[in-house]
């Protein structure tokens, strides 16, 4: 083919490809525009994972009527005028590409009203061409609707993943911006259902509670400000005035002492809270979410020797530094940045996190722990609450609320707080009760153990340990078995084949919604493959929340539930012995993987009390 210049249409589609990869990229760009427009309230709605419909509204400054069409021209922006401006960008956008790119590959309706104008404007574009432009009523602000993404780029459309996956990417972006801008209120709805909302009260901890749940949100430690902050600010001011005297600009001064100008804020997990991968380390630079291997490592390094090997912290860290010390114009999607002094930023992050851990984490979070975990004893919670009130060094009102609700969470299945560390004492099996419970005796009284829940716990810890060593026992089926699944389940399984194979599944797509099962984890090899796979799909679906516990753990918990002995199953004495011995070895023997108690403990004191005996009078 001879060399020729590409047509305008092809050029714009290629360019669009760099900015718009999937529905979440559209959401990201539109939300960035809303933030740049000074909005306080940003609402996002999608249908079909955003493939068919994305709607973003804001109460920002809006676009004047005469500029509404111009906003869609490539390289048109109100945020940048000269190349010099590139050096100190304070807005999220600046390339003037997003609206043009989105419009090139979808059908966009843009309704906007600048506060000073009496009426709004509606512009509609299809494949980049304006098909309507008219007046339209709306309150000040902007609403953008993006329909039929990639309708004119079938190759791209084919690459989109399942609705759940696309939704998850949207969730991830929205929660990132909610964390970066706690003063703004973000609302996200999928298919008519609100799935996330941040309070917009300028408190990052409250956003973290909305994202990670109460338990994690309450446990996170706020990164301490750099100790000599006051003196630093004072120094800066001295520096500035000194500069003025010798005729230098403040900027030059800043670039000379970059370290004192790097601030790190946010929250990090105490060493007792960790995750199986580094995906829970979220970083922002000047309000922009970034992917940065080195800074991620800086956070991990701060936990050196504090975490078990193979475990990673959870962190939301914001780096603030003068805009001229960071280049955000590295990539069209802007999730990579380049620092003028990368080492200084690395040190600042590592130091801030380490300092926080050292100063904050020795303080016991869970206050006093009773010797035995009195499962399902409501009055214990009252006691604990009282004790909490005494021992807490007068927390702020909000904090107290969080702490109190944290105790509440203890009994909520699913997200239960880990019981206090401390393994089981050696127990003597007495017998089985109602073919459901194992009765056992220990130094501190009587234990009633739920055989199913206990077995789940045992299998779960074994499976995860094997997974860690990449040594999960997998058992091939005699004959590979095709299993037809619900479309959603099939899509989910196919997406996570790798996670599954790490857990001992050998499953492959078999056309349509059928998968071929070649092997299962040995512990469920006797079960019905269809049931096992439906279980797994359900687990994947449930952990379809951004950043919830790890997928591996969710799937493992389901598999173990299926594999564990059931209530109603008669157990021989030796089997009960084996179960109890295995439970004694568990790190968290007192709850099942889903957070339900595995046992009820009746202490010697309680028994004595119930029988009206005085506790110390052993001779009576």
Which residue ranges make up the site for Mg ion (CB under 5 A)?
Answer: 33, 93, 98
Q: Which position among 17, 96, 225, 342 is part of the footprint of ligand ADP (CB under 6 A)?
A: 96
# of chain residues touching ligand ADP (CB under 6 A): 23
Give the three-state DSSP class for 606: helix
Integer Cα distance of 448 and 591 in angstroms:
13
Give the three-state DSSP class for 523: helix
Residue 78, interface with ligand ADP (CB under 6 A)? yes
DSSP H or E run through 600: strand 599-603
Question: What tokens does 592 get?
Answer: 């099942």
Q: Which stretch binds ligand ADP (CB under 6 A): 73-81, 268-276, 471-479, 593-601?
A: 73-81
Residue 386, number of CB atoms within 10 A of its CB: 10
Q: Which position among 16, 20, 26, 63 is part of the footprint of ligand ADP (CB under 6 A)?
A: 63
Residue with the shortest CB distance to ligand ADP: 93
How are beta strands 185-190 and 41-47 bridged, if at all? parallel
Phi, psi of 401 (to 5 degrees): -60, -45
CB of 179 to ligand ADP, least distance (A): 20
CB of 62 to Mg ion, least distance (A): 15
CB of 329 to ligand ADP, least distance (A): 11
Residue with the shortest CB distance to Mg ion: 93
295 binds, among Mg ion, ligand ADP, none (CB under 5 to 8 A by kind): none
Q: Pattern 367-406, binding to ligand ADP, x per CB under 6 A?
A: ----------------------------------------
Q: Pattern 125-144, binding to ligand ADP, x per CB under 6 A?
A: -----------------x--
Integer Cα distance of 226 and 351 in angstroms:
9
Q: Which stretch binds ligand ADP (CB under 6 A): 71-79, 240-248, 342-350, 591-599?
A: 71-79
Contact 461, 424 (CB under 8 A): no
Give the three-state DSSP class for 231: helix
Residue 106, interface with ligand ADP (CB under 6 A)? no
CB of 498 to ligand ADP, least distance (A): 35
Residue 94, interface with ligand ADP (CB under 6 A)? yes
Nearer to ligand ADP, 334 or 455 (CB): 334
63 binds, among ligand ADP, Mg ion, none (CB under 5 to 8 A by kind): ligand ADP
Helix boundaries (H) for 342-486 = 342-360, 378-391, 397-409, 451-468
Residue 33, interface with ligand ADP (CB under 6 A)? yes
Cβ partners under 8 Å of residue 449, min gap 6: 437, 438, 439, 440, 579, 580, 583, 598, 599
CB of 246 to ligand ADP, least distance (A): 38
Residues in 10-29 at the binding interface with ligand ADP, rule: CB under 6 A: 29
Give the three-state DSSP class for 505: coil
User: What letter does residue 520 receive in the DSSP assignment?
Assistant: E
Integer Cα distance of 615 and 620 in angstroms:
10
Give the three-state DSSP class for 263: strand
Helix boundaries (H) for 275-341 = 293-302
62 binds, among Mg ion, ligand ADP, none (CB under 5 to 8 A by kind): ligand ADP
Integer Cα distance of 211 and 206 in angstroms:
9
Q: By CB under 6 A, name the binding residues for ligand ADP.
A: 29, 33-34, 37, 58, 60-63, 71, 76-79, 93-100, 142
């Amino acid at each position: 083919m001879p060399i020729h210049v590409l047509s305008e249409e092809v050029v714009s589609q290629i360019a669009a490809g760099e900015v718009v990869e999937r529905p979440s990229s559209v959401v990201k760009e539109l939300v960035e525009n809303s933030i740049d427009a000074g909005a306080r309230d940003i609402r996002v709605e999608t249908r079909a994972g955003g493939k068919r419909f994305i709607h973003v509204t804001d109460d920002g400054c809006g676009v004047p009527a005469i500029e509404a069409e111009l906003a869609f021209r490539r390289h048109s922006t109100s945020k940048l005028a000269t190349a010099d401006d590139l050096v100190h960008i304070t807005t999220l956008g600046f390339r003037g590409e997003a609206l043009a790119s989105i419009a090139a590959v979808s059908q966009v309706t843009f309704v906007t009203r600048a506060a000073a104008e009496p009426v709004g404007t509606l512009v509609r574009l299809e494949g980049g061409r304006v098909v309507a432009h008219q007046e339209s009523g709306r309150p000040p602000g902007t609403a953008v609707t993006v329909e039929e993404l990639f309708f004119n780029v079938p190759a791209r459309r084919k690459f989109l993943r399942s609705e759940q996956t696309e939704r998850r990417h949207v969730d991830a972006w929205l929660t990132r911006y909610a964390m970066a801008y706690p003063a703004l209120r973000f609302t996200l709805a999928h298919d008519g259902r609100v799935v996330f909302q941040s309070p917009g009260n300028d408190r990052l901890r409250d956003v973290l509670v909305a994202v990670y749940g109460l338990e994690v949100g309450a446990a996170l430690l706020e990164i301490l400000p750099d100790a000599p902050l006051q003196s630093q600010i004072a120094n800066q001011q001295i520096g500035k005035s000194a500069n003025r005297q010798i005729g230098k600009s403040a900027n030059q001064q800043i670039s000379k002492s970059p370290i004192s100008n790097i601030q790190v804020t946010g929250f990090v997990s105490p060493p007792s809270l960790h995750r199986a991968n580094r995906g829970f380390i979220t970083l922002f630079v000047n309000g922009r979410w970034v992917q940065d291997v080195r800074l991620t490592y800086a956070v991990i390094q701060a936990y050196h020797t504090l975490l078990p090997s193979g475990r990673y912290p959870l962190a939301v860290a914001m780096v603030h530094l003068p805009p001229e010390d960071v280049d955000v114009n590295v990539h069209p999607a802007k999730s990579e940045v380049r620092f003028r002094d990368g080492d200084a930023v690395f040190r600042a992050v590592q130091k801030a996190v380490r300092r926080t851990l050292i100063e904050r984490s020795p303080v016991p979070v869970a206050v006093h722990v009773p010797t035995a975990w009195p499962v399902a004893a409501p009055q214990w919670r009252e006691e604990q609450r009282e004790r909490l009130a005494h021992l807490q060094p007068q927390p702020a009102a909000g904090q107290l609320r969080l702490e109190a609700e944290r105790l509440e969470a203890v009994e909520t299945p699913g997200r239960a707080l880990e019981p206090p560390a401390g393994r089981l004492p050696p127990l003597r099996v007495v017998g089985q009760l109602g073919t459901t419970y194992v009765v056992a005796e220990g130094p501190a009284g009587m234990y009633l153990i739920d055989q199913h829940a206990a077995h789940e716990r045992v299998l779960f810890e074994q499976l995860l340990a094997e997974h860690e060593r990449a040594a999960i026992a997998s058992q091939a089926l005699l004959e590979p078995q095709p299993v037809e699944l619900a479309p959603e389940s099939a899509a989910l399984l196919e997406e996570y084949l790798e996670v599954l194979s790490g857990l001992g599944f050998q499953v492959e797509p078999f056309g349509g919604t059928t998968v071929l099962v070649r092997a299962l984890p040995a512990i469920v090899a006797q079960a019905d493959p269809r049931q096992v796979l439906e279980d797994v799909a359900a687990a994947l679906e449930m952990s379809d929340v951004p950043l919830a516990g790890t997928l591996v753990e969710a799937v493992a918990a389901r598999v173990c539930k299926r594999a564990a002995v059931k209530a109603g199953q008669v157990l021989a004495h030796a089997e009960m012995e084996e179960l109890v011995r295995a439970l004694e070895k568990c790190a968290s023997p007192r709850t099942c993987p889903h957070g339900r108690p595995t046992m009820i403990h009746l202490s010697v004191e309680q028994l004595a009390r119930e029988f009206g005996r005085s506790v110390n009078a052993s001779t009576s």
